[in-house]
Amino acid sequence: MHVKQLVNKLKKSIGNLIPVPDLRIMIGSSRTRQWDMVFKFDYQGLSFDVIVEVVAVNSLPMFQNKINKLKSLATDEFAIPVLAAPYFSPERQALCRDSGIFFVDLSGNVFISYRSFYVERVGFPNKYPEKRQRRGPFSDKASLILRELMKNRDRQWGIRELAQKIALDPGYVSRMAKSLEVSGYVARINRKLSIRSPKEILDDWVRVYDFKKNELNRFSIQASNVESVIKHLREIEIPKEKKYALSVQAGASLVAPHAVYKEVYMYVQDQQDINFFKKELSLKVVSQGANLVLMLPYYKHSVFYDSQKIDGLCVVSDIQLYLDLYGYPVRGQEQAAHLFEKQLKRQFSVNDNE
């Protein structure tokens, strides 16, 4: 939904969204366009302004920017700051409350409090679900752009320079860059791209990434524990043309060890690679009791991007490792949080006040 559409719908439906007896609502001046819109509320002799910023794009950086704008400029004691959107999830509602910002959405959720005026109606489902974007910023090929930009947030990239680095068509990179700008994920500085709010981008990314879409092939290898499985992998000679990379808890054990685990998960490129490891490690197919899981990735273009060599074995990038851990059911989010603190936080910390 575009900003103008959202503003117009809100103007038409504000009375139905806040069905309070004796409440009169009028459209006020936008105060030299500081705000997206202003309403004047009159309730039983109490008059106050409701200054509104709308969030038309469902991205955490854009959401946070609007929150910061409302907090920095809403200083009038007779005006209260309200964020508006097609829908606020319970998590976004909680972020508004924690920031001291009120909210209203077109799906019916609203929380506004000012002196004797109080309205809270929550729990309404999303009436405006987003259509799945086949080529959204977190899709397989498009994610190469974010992966490279997030590696060094101080660096600024020209479109052609970036396209050459990640081996994508410049026209495609240019189109995706415009989408990333709209979402607040990147900014253009002197016509070059610069990443913004990488932690918030990662938070958005894990909402759409689905670890279960990887094709899992479960095997048993003669080994007493996962350390022994890792040892077997180190002992075989893996040709350079064979693409593989450890992930989930096994990968994390080499990057930022934290949780105990019982299965080694490893990406391979194709069925030929599965056959190679089956032969070299004498693997047996099992339905239960697997200690080695070979994964065919659904991120076929990007899963091996920026893989790292640690103690003689390939491990996916820290970003891919975080995504996989976050979607892994056994202590995955706990390990992901540890990985962020030990690795990614340091990488993302430069100019983090943007």
pLDDT digits (tens, 9 = 90+) for 158-188: 999 999 999 999 999 999 999 999 999 999 9
As a CATH number, domain 211-348 is 3.30.460
Structure confidence at residue 75 as a pLDDT band (50, 70, 90)? low
The CATH T-level fold of domain 3-121 is Trna Endonuclease; Chain: A, domain 1 (3.40.1350)
Domain boundaries, the chain: 3-121, 143-208, 211-348
Per-residue model confidence (pLDDT) at position 28: 82
State the pLDDT confidence band at 73, using cuts at 50, 70 and 90: confident
Domains 3-121 and 143-208 share a fold: no
End-to-end CA distance of the chain: 26
Q: DSSP alpha helices (H): ranges in the chain?
A: 3-17, 60-73, 90-98, 143-151, 159-166, 170-182, 198-208, 226-235, 248-255, 271-281, 318-326, 332-339, 345-348
Q: Model confidence over 128-157: pLDDT tens digits?
A: 987 655 568 999 999 999 999 999 888 999
Residue where the block lists tokens 């990239």: 157
Q: What is the pLDDT of residue 161?
A: 97
Q: Give the pLDDT confidence of 110-135 residue by residue, as tens digits.
A: 999 999 999 999 999 999 987 655 56
CA 89, CA 55: separation in Å to the nearest integer? 13
Domain 143-208: assigned CATH number: 1.10.10.10
247 closest CA partner among 187, 203, 299, 198: 299
Percentage of the chain surpassing pLDDT 90?
84
pLDDT confidence band for 3 (50 / 70 / 90): confident
- Determine the Cα–Cα distance for residues 145 and 130; give it in Å rounded to an integer: 22
CB 177 within 8 A of CB 194: no
